[in-house]
Chain A
């Protein structure tokens, strides 16, 4: 059985931004499903926790939202990435890649590799 992990603080926002960049305007449910699919159900995240994050991102100006019609013609709030959000996403992904690379190198290191 795969072990499920909590979402590290702050990464949910980054996932939201990336999802919106890849898929374009999306409602909350769509974002939640997408994050679940990508993470391969490794993350235990209550879908509800997404909404405070969406509000925070909107207040910071990274995303914008407006009412629209969902696939089955229901009224839904659609979120889209703003220009500021795109910039923020680029900066934060670079930071994450760097961190991941550094940690990867540490974990790959074996005792015999040391000079």
Chain B
């Protein structure tokens, strides 16, 4: 509320300046009259009155400080001063700016990485309901560095057994431990095929993740057989 009033005061400053001027005039006139009554000549009476009133400019400064935004004005002054000093010491300025820039840059890129790897949820329907079954952190993953821990891989028959006898999950999908590369080429193109990583998955894989196809349909459980229907575009 007070800040609001100060803001209003700021807007109405010229009018208030006139008011202060009128008050000063009135004050000096009254003092002059009194001095004349005390026996001074009109000129001397006026002079004594001004003397007694004190520095008008200093007082006006005080008056101005009481109104408006002294803190904002000080802030602007300080900023100007800082900029001036920085310009006078370019070596220091450049070092500081570079240090800050590198610091901010490093922090930002590290956070971006951490966010992408650790924090960002997976782009599937219910990422917090996903579990990977196995007894080692690197389960169902073949290749890369092996360390001395074994891989927990299951056969397709075991997967089928688990799927039919595990009640805790609504779906249990399987995927291959190796990521084979597939040669892919758009129909009718003459360019050599590009090799892209792919995966052998069970028919309910897409249903488990809640992912839909951009066009056509994804695999379904009915495709889990030796001679599936060909998927059409």
Chain A positions within 8 Å of B, measured between CB atoms, are: 27-29, 32, 46-49, 51-52, 55-56, 59, 70, 72, 74-77
Contact B9 A59 (CB under 8 A): yes
User: Are A47's CB and B22's CB within 8 A?
Assistant: no
CA gap between A70 and B5 in the complex, in Å: 29
Chain A contacts for B53, CB-based, 8 A: 46-48
Interface centre among B9, B23, B56 (most CB of A within 10 A): B23
B54–A48 touching, CB < 8 Å: yes
- B residues in contact (CB < 8 Å) with A: 2, 5-6, 9, 19-20, 22-24, 26-27, 29-31, 33, 52-56, 58-59, 62-63, 65-67
Q: Tell me which of B6, B19, B31, B63 contacts A29 (CB under 8 A).
A: B31
Tell me the complex Cα distance, A52–B9, Å: 14
* Bound complex: CA A74 to CA B56 (Å): 21
Q: What are 7 A-B pairs at a CB distance below 8 A?
A: A27-B27, A46-B54, A49-B62, A51-B20, A55-B63, A75-B22, A77-B22
Chain B interface SS verdict (over half):
helix
Residues of B within 8 A of A76 (CB): 23, 26
Q: Would A52 and B65 be within 8 Å (CB), given that A27-B26, A29-B26 are in contact? A: yes
Measured in the bound complex, the distance between the Cα atoms of B27 and A25 in whole Å is: 16
Assess the A46–B66 pair: CB atoms within 8 A: no
Q: Contact at A55–B33, with CB atoms within 8 Å? A: no
Give the docked Cα–Cα distance between A15 and B103 (Å). Answer: 57
A28 with B29: CB separation less than 8 A: no
Q: In the assembly, what is the distance between CA of A59 and CA of B5, in Å?
A: 8
Q: Is the CB of A52 within 8 A of B63?
A: yes
Distance (Å) between the CB of A108 and the closest chain B CB? 37
